[in-house]
């Protein structure tokens, strides 16, 4: 009696053991487990968050007076636009800065 049923291999179409590890492909893509938190990603996230908060504060009041039924939608769309710009500008600017690690 067999309890393990072979399944189709998603890599090459053959039948394989379902508990076998995936084959090594030599890929250089970074998985989420090995991804590092860099100064660019941290700075970009901070700039995007700050920009979103500032836009929400500055845009909501005038828009709520002019277009009360669309105030939240317009404010959110403006925030998303500014977040996109702030993140890309911050990461580009932070990549130009020298590394904070001291040479050995």
Q: What does the pLDDT look like over 47-88, one tens digit per residue? A: 999 999 999 999 999 999 999 999 999 999 999 999 999 999
Q: How many domains does the chain have?
A: 1
72: left (phi over 0), alpha (psi -120 to 50) or beta: alpha
Separation of alpha carbons 9 and 15, rounded Å? 5
Look at residue 75 and tell me if it is in a domain. yes
pLDDT of amino acid 2: 55
Whole domain around residue 58: which residue ranges?
Answer: 37-96
DSSP letter (8 states) at residue 63: H
Q: Is residue 48 part of a domain?
A: yes
CB atoms within 10 A of CB 6: 11
62 assigned to some structural domain = yes
């Amino acid at each position: 009696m067999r309890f393990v049923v072979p399944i189709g291999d998603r890599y090459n179409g053959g039948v394989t053991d379902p508990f076998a590890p995936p084959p090594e492909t030599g890929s250089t893509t970074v998985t989420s487990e090995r991804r590092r938190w860099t100064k660019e990603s941290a700075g970009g996230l901070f700039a995007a968050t700050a920009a979103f908060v500032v836009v929400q504060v500055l845009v909501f009041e005038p828009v709520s007076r002019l277009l009360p039924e669309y105030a939240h939608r317009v404010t959110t769309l403006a925030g998303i636009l500014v977040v996109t710009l702030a993140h890309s500008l911050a990461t580009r600017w932070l990549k130009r800065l020298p590394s904070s690690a001291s040479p050995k």
